[in-house]
Amino acid sequence: MEKIIYSILSVKRNPEKLNALLVGMKGISGSDLCAVSFDEITAVVSDINRTNLIADRSNAIEYAGVIENLAQQFTVLPMRYGSIMESTGSIIKMLERNYHEFQQNLQKVENKREFGLKIFCDSEKLQAELRAKSETHTTTPAKHAPEIKNSVYRDWVNKKLKEHRLEELLLTYVDSVIVKITGYLDRLNAVNKFKKMATATNIIDAVFLLDKERKDALIQAVEILQNQYPGLNFVLTGPWPPYNFVEINIK
Amino acid sequence: MSENKILFNTGSLDELSEEIGKLTNNEESKLKLGPDNADSGLAKLVLTLVELIRKLIEKQAMRRVDGGSLTEDEIERLGETLMKLELKMEELKKHFNLNDRDLNINLGPLGDLM
Amino acid sequence: MHNNVIDRSKDITILELLDRVLNKGVILSGDIVISVADVDLVYVGVKLMLSSVETMEQLRSGKSVIV
């Protein structure tokens, strides 16, 4: 029977606790959950029939719900939706082959949770502000003005140059916000990943990994940051299982 | 999973759900090659790569212009070439019925091309 | 009005959740080699899903936006 894997975790100290938890939970489409272990590493799985797996969002949400419940009591490595293997035997072999990588990754995320911070802006307004600021500084065009040819090509270059400078300004601004944020995060001892300009209005898409006890300190820090940047819209979510902080290439 | 995981937000959520929806739903930006659409699928793939390179060149050119190391003649010629490239690209996009979103193929773990 | 805000928050929570469970997390993977007529042509060193690319495609098509 094929198995779908929800999470990898370590239960060396209390396998009974995991079993008790699994009895009270259901997997996708009401299936029973069970633990498959190799030494100290355990995979939480349920039976699945690949051809019957209805691929819809409610299944994905159920799947994530199982991971969430496990993560509330254990340090877990969440699997991506749809991780299916042929049999219990193949899972045990997989756990054995990747044993050290799992151990290392579990250590890295032990007692930590992931938080997401998305920062949105009204990009047109922000660009206008940045442009206004920069124009007080830029004097170069005037100096060269007499030599500049007046052609459609030169006009085109000027237009592109303006866009380019604006983009650079925006990036510099985004970088400065990131520096501010990392200042606070360093104090919380957080690991972080930033993605700049995810979309035109989502200027920063960040994820942090930090001790779960520091959740309130993080909320406070974000509140302070929001007050410093009234033009931006901060959205903090979490705590999540460490989806963005598992880097394993399973063999 | 009905728990609310938003820990902090003071702004409007309406615009956000739209934005996050865009981030989550990449369906339109996926490359689908099949017997029925081999032409447009291939055009999409080729034009995406061409567009990527064109934009890189343009960006680099603007860096050089901004750096001030180019002569007016060089800038003029660069402008002419790049502008013609851009116009040609617009023509091709129109011809194959593709828009800018089509030319940003989602590569999954590699992220967007552009 | 108040309920509306709560609904929105839930929507965003679910979207964030889906983004994670579909795009992040541990992947059962292998590097892929694209072959044409049995000749290995392109080596893609990308971690792609082995078992459920189809599943993902279906999941993502159409139905996946709630807002």
SS (H, E, C) chain B: CCCCCEEECCCCCHHHHHHHHHHHCCHHHCCCCCHHHHHHHHHHHHHHHHHHHHHHHHHHHHHHHHHCCCCHHHHHHHHHHHHHHHHHHHHHHHHCCCCCCCCCCECHHHCECC
CA C3/CA B56 separation, integer angstroms: 47
Residues of B in contact with C64 (CB under 8 A): 24-25, 27
Count CB-CB contacts under 10 A for residue A215: 17
If pLDDT is split at 50, 70 and 90, which confidence band does A199 have?
Answer: confident
8 Å CB contact of C14 and B1:
yes
Residues of C in contact with A209 (CB under 8 A): none
Query: Angle at the Cα of B93 (from B87 to B99), degrees rounded to 5?
Result: 115
Stretch among A52-61, A230-239, B39-48 having the lowest mean pLDDT: A52-61
CA A162/CA A157 separation, integer angstroms: 8
Question: Measuring CA to CA, which residue among A243, A173, A233 is closest to residue A208?
Answer: A243
CB A98 within 8 A of CB A212: no
Confidence (pTM): 0.79
8 Å CB contact of B13 and C18:
no
Whole-number average pLDDT of chain A: 88
Q: Cβ of A215 under 8 Å from any chain B Cβ?
A: yes
Identify the residue with better confidence: C15 or A177. Answer: A177
CA A57/CA B77 separation, integer angstroms: 53
CA A110/CA A75 separation, integer angstroms: 5
Instruction: Tell me the two tokens of residue B51.
Output: 């567009």
CB A204 within 8 A of CB A77: no
Q: Which residues contact A163 (CB under 8 A, 6 or more apart)?
A: B62
What's the pLDDT at A55? Answer: 58
What's the pLDDT at A75? Answer: 93
Stretch among A24-38, A143-157, B35-49 having the lowest mean pLDDT: A143-157
Instruction: Tell me the two tokens of residue C10.
Output: 């839930």
If pLDDT is split at 50, 70 and 90, which confidence band does C44 have?
Answer: very low
Q: What is the distance in angstroms between the Cα of A232 and the nearest Cα belonging to chain B?
A: 8
Count CB-CB contacts under 10 A for residue B109: 12
Where do we find the tokens 């567009």?
B51
What's the pLDDT at B86? Answer: 95
CA B91/CA B85 separation, integer angstroms: 10
Q: Cβ of B1 under 8 Å from any chain C Cβ?
A: yes
8 Å CB contact of B8 and A219:
yes
CA A157/CA A161 separation, integer angstroms: 6
pLDDT value at C34 more than 80: no
Alpha carbon of A88 to those of A19, A34, A37, A217, B36: distances in Å?
Answer: 17, 10, 9, 42, 41
What's the pLDDT at B23? Answer: 54
Q: Cβ of A60 under 8 Å from any chain C Cβ?
A: yes
| Mutant choice from A195, A243, A244, A248 vs C, greatest count of C C-beta within 10 A | A243
What's the pLDDT at A64? Answer: 94
Specify the DSSP element, H or E, that contains A46: strand A41-47
CB A77 within 8 A of CB A248: yes
pLDDT value at A38 more than 90: yes
If pLDDT is split at 50, 70 and 90, which confidence band does C32 have?
Answer: very low
Q: What is the distance in angstroms between the Cα of C8 and the nearest Cα belonging to chain B?
A: 7
Q: Which residues contact A89 (CB under 8 A, 6 or more apart)?
A: none
In terms of DSSP H, where are the helices of A4-46?
Answer: 15-23
Q: Cβ of A113 under 8 Å from any chain B Cβ?
A: no
Rg (CA), chain C: 18
pLDDT tens for each residue of chain B, 114 residues long? 557 898 998 877 766 666 666 655 544 445 556 666 677 778 888 888 888 888 888 988 998 999 888 899 999 999 999 999 999 999 999 998 888 877 766 544 444 544
Burial class for A64, CB neighbours closer than 10 Å (0-12, 13-18, 19+): buried
pLDDT value at A143 more than 80: no
CA A37/CA B109 separation, integer angstroms: 29
Chain A residue with the nearest C-alpha to that of B80: A153
What's the pLDDT at A147? Answer: 57
What's the pLDDT at C62? Answer: 38
Give the DSSP per-residue string, A167-235: HHHHHHHHHHHHHHHHHHHHHTT-EEEEEE-SSSSEEEEEEEEEEGGGHHHHHHHHHHHHHH-TTEEEE
8 Å CB contact of A84 and C52:
yes
pLDDT value at C53 more than 50: no
**Considering chain A, what percentage of its residues have pLDDT values greater than 90?**
62
8 Å CB contact of A153 and B80:
yes
Q: Cβ of B63 under 8 Å from any chain A Cβ?
A: yes
Indicate the residue type of A29: S
What's the pLDDT at A142? Answer: 46
Give the DSSP per-residue string, A111-160: TEEEEEEEEEE-HHHHHHHHHHHHHTT--HHHHHGGG----HHHHHHHHH
Identify the residue with better confidence: C34 or A122. Answer: A122
pLDDT value at C58 more than 50: no
If pLDDT is split at 50, 70 and 90, which confidence band does C61 have?
Answer: very low
8 Å CB contact of C51 and A240:
no
Question: Measuring CA to CA, which residue among A233, A193, A187, A195 is closest to residue A214?
Answer: A187
**Considering chain C, what percentage of its residues have pLDDT values greater than 70?**
36
Residues of C in contact with A67 (CB under 8 A): 21
Virtual CA dihedral for B98, B101, B107, B109, nearest 10 degrees?
-170
What's the pLDDT at A46? Answer: 95
- Residue C10 three-state SS: helix
pLDDT value at C48 more than 60: no
